[in-house]
Amino acid sequence: MIFNKRQFSRHLLKWFRQNRRDLPWRLPPASPPSARLEPYLVFVSEAMLQQTQVSTVVPYFKRFLQAFPTIHSLAAAEEQSVLRVWQGLGYYSRARNLHAAAKKIVAEFAGMIPNEADVLLQLPGVGRYTAGAIASIAYNRRAPILDGNVARVLARIFRIESDPREKRTAAKLWQLAEEILPKEGKPCGDFNSALMELGATVCTPRNPQCLICPVQQFCQAYAEGVQDRIPPPRKTKPTPLIQRWVFCIHNKNRFLIEQRPAKGRWAGMWQFVTIEPSATKPTRAIVKQSTGCSIQAIEKITAISHALTHRRYQFDVFVCEANGGMNIKSRSNRMWVRLSELDRYPLPKPHVQIAGILGDKSGAAVKVSH
């Protein structure tokens, strides 16, 4: 089968213009040809779309743009505010990198998001895919992209049966992604968007809809009936289970929360006191040793499971009433707050769930977003 790049592009772009999803970071479908996409919208959306589905991203994107409508407002914000608005979307390093990149863009590029992929690569959190996506979609530069959707489409079109996650296969797919791009000045951004859209809506991982695919005639995998086994399934690995105790220590109507370290998972976010189990069950002595708080009793209220990409957590959650005053072990990253004040602090999703449970038990108003 001879691959005709020009015909492939024409078929793909025609389908995209008729079937593309109306997303808040894209120009409205009826926009005039002279309309230009706001690069900041692409910048934010591409950060959010890393490892996250479009349907999940849309409400967070709208909320983020309400809080930080411009690159300057994002750069001027406190990191805690950025994490708070991002709360619930996960992979919080993306938010910190996006914030750091905004600061760099304002400081070094006069607030103008760079339009060349090699310059974009200098920004925190921007890899080859994100640089290509911003350069092509926001500025129509001839820059290739390769995310999971595009890799799957190309693997099937060219019948590449090796694992796209392998270094050699990924390099081949990157080469193909660049070779099939339209020439400079042609609609490179729409072409890249169309490839991603095709992978997300038609050329799906399971049960691809080949009969309605606009580029079916170019697909070697379909021609040979092997599309269902390309790409090969990911090799499953056992995910370790990590157990934690969470102590919801309260003094009257205030709860003790602590800030997580500046690096690592959920970096810089806030949580109820959480420790690694050191015995078969928690004791008042363990709570005293960990926090400096004397407590009256320990009551288990729930257990919360939380799965991440490479690990699973189980949080056993306990309520403890502080005995006497509100002195805590000398740590500047702990404080007493009312449940109604938790909306000021970015919380990991498990602790948002815990706050909701505490609110239900106490009847207190809890304003935290999932």
Residues acting as catalytic residues? 46
114 contacts: CB under 8 Å, gap ≥ 6:
105, 120, 122, 123
DSSP state of 261: P
Return d(Cα 207, Cα 202) in angstroms, integer: 9
4 contacts: CB under 8 Å, gap ≥ 6:
218
324 contacts: CB under 8 Å, gap ≥ 6:
294
Per the CB < 8 A criterion, the answer to whether 230 and 159 are in contact is yes
Question: Residue 254 has which token pair?
Answer: 């205030």
| C-alpha dihedral, 6 to 10 to 16 to 17, nearest 10° | 140
Residue whose C-alpha is closest to residue 161's, from 235, 234, 232 = 232
Return d(Cα 87, Cα 247) in angstroms, integer: 21
Angular region, 296: left φ>0, alpha ψ -120 to 50, beta rest: alpha
Return d(Cα 261, Cα 268) in angstroms, integer: 6
Residue whose C-alpha is closest to residue 137's, from 193, 189, 198, 191 = 189
H or E element, residue 43? helix 39-49
Residue whose C-alpha is closest to residue 140's, from 19, 5, 4, 35 = 35
3-state secondary structure of 257: strand
3-state secondary structure of 258: strand
